[in-house]
Amino acid sequence: MRMGVCRSLTTCKLSDTISPAFAESHRAVKAGAINELVEKGGRGSCKSSYISLEIILLILKNPLIHACVFRKYGNTLRTTVYTQIVWAIAQLGLTRKFRCTVSPMECVYIPTGQKIMFFGLDDPGKVKSIKVPFGYIGIDWFEELDQFDGPEQIRNVEQSTLRGGPFSFTFKSFNPPAMSRNWANRYVLMKKPGQMVHHSTYLTTPVEWLGPRFIADAEHLKATNFTGYRHEYLGEVVGSGTQVFENLQLRAITDAELGQFDRITNGVDWGWYPDPWAWNRMHYDAARRTLYLFDELTRNRTSNTDTAALVKSRIPAGELLIADSAEEKSVSDYKSYGLNCRASEKGPGSVNYSMKWLQSLAAVVIDPDRCPDTAKEFTEYEYERDEKTGEVLQGYPDAANHHIDAVRYGTNKIWKRRGQ
């Protein structure tokens, strides 16, 4: 990629080096407003280039810290993240200030001795034995996040490396896998304090940095395989063609929107263990054919008395609650506890009809912060395939669908009026 190369850091104009798409990310890092930045996106978005530049800038700003750069496999380091860091050093006009070697694989800032070290997690012993000559490790970068084993592996590395000093920062970057159930795709939905998640595409990269061949290849795929284009170049989670719900919108539902909701209902799917009890609160906008899911509860081994108390603390008195009719005693219990609880009306084919109704809506909007379990269920719910032929099987899987069932019950009166 062609970018402006700085002759020295003092004369460097960062806007010529950092893609404008990352201006907000850079401001947040520079201001110390966050301690974790997750950069996701498609090909040509320059996310790895941006992170490599940011690591150099943080090293210069904090003279006691060192950095670790991780990929899943050690044999991929030299041609990927190591080369990327060397590139960033050159872009900032600092080649004479750094000494980079491949054995050991590291880049040392000569004036202070600070190190940027590279490791593959296929050899976990190396991570446990990392030593620095002074100061402490203050930066971790996990490149191709989705390739690692999962959040526990990442957390273990962070706990082993980011300790011993007042400053710590984690970069995580990846091209989102097609499947929504991949742990990295789920991870970015589970927000945590101090974290920023940013998505970028090649469309925000200056064209002259990419070159005509890159643009031509992207346009060709767009014309011949639009789903592939969305995944590879736009970084979208497009699935494998087996998702049950293709009308999902995962986004924040604002307090202003909540104040306009006037058709609110609640649904309960009974459970104990291992299947949980699940409750959802929702609003249906008939004019827009849009269902909004904005509250949830999930519990194991919790009595009807306790779950009823939980629900009563979340809804106004008298608000309708529709529950699975399979447990008449539980429905009666809820009524005796003062809840306006009714049993769902079932009939032959009611599961199929209610599921098809949910699929037919213009949108099912889920707030992933307010309803993380619900968002996980809906995004990961897929048709099953025949193990031998690979063909998609008919019918809806009866597994990991407790909040989906709660939503079906909660909307029972709505879809029943539409023909079932």
* pLDDT in single tens digits along all 420 residues of the chain: 445 555 555 556 677 788 899 999 999 999 999 999 999 999 999 999 999 999 999 999 999 999 999 999 999 999 999 999 999 999 999 999 999 999 999 999 999 999 999 999 987 777 878 999 999 999 999 999 999 999 999 999 999 999 889 999 999 999 998 877 788 988 998 888 999 999 999 999 999 999 999 999 999 999 998 888 999 999 998 876 688 888 898 899 999 999 999 999 999 999 999 999 999 999 999 999 999 999 999 999 999 999 999 999 999 999 999 999 999 999 999 999 999 999 999 888 889 899 999 999 999 999 999 999 999 999 889 888 777 787 778 788 888 999 999 999 999 999 987 644
Q: How many CB atoms lie within 10 A of CB 200?
A: 22
Concerning whether 144 is annotated as a catalytic residue, the answer is: yes
Q: What is the pTM of this model?
A: 0.69
**Tens digit of pLDDT for each residue in 347-380?**
888 898 999 999 999 999 999 999 999 999 998 8
> Which sequence spans correspond to the domains of the chain?
9-220, 248-416
Choices 3.60.70.12, 3.30.420.280, 3.40.190.10, 3.30.1390.20: CATH for 248-416: 3.30.420.280
Choices 3.40.920.10, 3.40.50.300, 3.20.20.80, 1.20.950.20: CATH for 9-220: 3.40.50.300
Task: Write down the catalytic residue from 106, 144, 296, 382.
Answer: 144
* Sign of the torsion formed by the C-alpha atoms of 48, 51, 55 and 61: positive
**Tens digit of pLDDT for each residue in 101-149?**
999 999 999 999 999 999 999 877 778 789 999 999 999 999 999 999 9
